[in-house]
Amino acid sequence: MIKIAVLVSGSGSNLQALIDAKLSGQIVGVLSNRPDAYALERAKQAGIKTALVEHKQYPSREAFDDVMHQQLLDWGVNLVVLAGFMRILSEKFVKAWEGKMLNIHPSLLPYYKGMHTHQRVINTGDVYHGCTVHYVTAELDAGQALAQGILSVKRTDTVETLANRVHELEHLVYPQVVEWICTGAVQHLEDGSVLYRNSLLTEPVQFCKL
């Protein structure tokens, strides 16, 4: 069975969606870099082990990442799921978990890497927006995408309504992708690409809620 660790910094609504999805894999631990992350509370309520690794207590990014890495090894993790984890990871850490670490980003990558995606979508006047689940590589928000959730931006949308609607999509898409990995339906190939088993798919799966 796949053993999953979820890395969080905040509210953890994606963590909750993963817990509620009753995955074929097991969430063996939730690690936060912030003591006040509500996600820790959600994990405790679900009876999942938690670890707090406060980045401020370490002299360097590498030292912080080493402690996280050791915790993941102690839990026997083979899939790392970033769910609102607000730290940039060192190259060494990313390399160690290459092909075994996922992130969800609130935009239709490769558009709008980085922060404030909803505001940027509104500023540009885009018609479509959404979220992307991708493998994590050393370059920020640039790894191979596995799936995207797509919605159409309404004229009345604000940053807040868009954030809520994208979140709703995330809760649909992320557990589904993690489940594919748990069941082996999706595999990471050595060249960094994705294999969708028993299907003709070659492109990231698109979930549309227009």
Report the nearest approach of ligand GRF to the CB of residue 2 (Å): 20
Q: Which of 193, 192, 194 is nearest to 184 (CA)?
A: 194
Report if residue 25 touches ligand GRF, rule: CB under 6 A. no
- Per CB under 6 A, the list member of 48, 131, 136, 162 interacting with ligand GRF is 131
Which listed residue (69, 105, 118, 134) is catalytic?
Answer: 105
Query: Token pair of 24, please?
Result: 């074929």
**Which range of residues in 4-12, 42-50, 54-62, 198-206 is near ligand GRF by CB under 6 A?**
4-12
- Per CB under 6 A, the list member of 169, 170, 181, 188 interacting with ligand GRF is 170
105 is annotated as an active-site residue: yes
Interacting residues with ligand GRF between 60 and 89 (CB under 6 A): 83-84
| CA dihedral for 85, 82, 38, 206, sign (positive or negative) | positive
Cα distance between residue 62 and residue 24, in whole Å = 32
Report if residue 14 touches ligand GRF, rule: CB under 6 A. yes
Report if residue 99 touches ligand GRF, rule: CB under 6 A. no
Judge whether 86 is annotated as a binding position. yes
- The site for ligand GRF (CB under 6 A) is made up of 10-14, 83-84, 104-106, 131, 167, 170
